[in-house]
Amino acid sequence: MSAIRKLRLVVLISGRGSNLQTLLDQSASGELSAEVVAVISNQPGVYGLERARQAGVPALELDHKRFADRPGFEAALIELIDRYQPDLVILAGFMRLLTAGFTDHYQGRLLNIHPSLLPKFRGLHTHERAIAAGETEHGATIHFVTAELDGGPLIVQARVPVLPGDDPEVLAARVLAQEHRLYPQAIRWFAEGRLRLDGEQVWFNGAPLRQPQRLEDVV
């Protein structure tokens, strides 16, 4: 196993930055062997940028609406990200579809968190859809990012029950608590050299990962 190294993280957001705050806190405490070197939002003025500023991290706005098309926005985004030479690019509530040109540039270094047990409920409104479908179990997933929406290779999932009487807000809060455990764990594995992507195959502890890890099984 490789020695643990301190990773440089660039975090992309579009909103309040709840998962970002977890990464900032664990980085500051030394619990996570990583440093958030920049936070970039495609939405001006969101609270996640203030979280970054309060932590002394560069907080940058790149408004996608200023660009004529998606490739133009992504070219500018790549240029901005690469100034900070990240080991990992972390999508934490970044609400923009990404093309293959972007995802290929960061292949094996681009992670996303999605609030469902993928491949179920890709896209938006996952909590409402899980309740409407009568699911008894829901959760969140960390995956490597490809150009396919929420379709990249899966790494680790956390599961929560869907309880009688749950509404989307209550279920979302239950899932969010697990999201705050998931992202640091996946980043920790990457820093330890235990997690990598080879083509479309996730490797974990030196072997192909056939099914996503279950957070509840992690010691």
β-pairing verdict for 201-204 and 207-208: antiparallel
What is the Cα 153 distance to its own chain's centre? 13
57-83 residues labelled b (16+ CB within 10 A) or e (exposed): bebbebebeebeeeeebbeebeeebee
Comparing CA positions, the residue from 93, 80, 89 lying closest to residue 20 is 93
* Phi and psi, residue 212, nearest 5°: -60, 145
Q: What share of the chain is helix, strand, coil (3-state, %, to 5)?
A: 35, 25, 40
Known catalytic residues are 114
* Strands ordered across the beta sheet of 201-204: 195-198, 201-204, 207-208
Structure tokens at 69: 């098309």
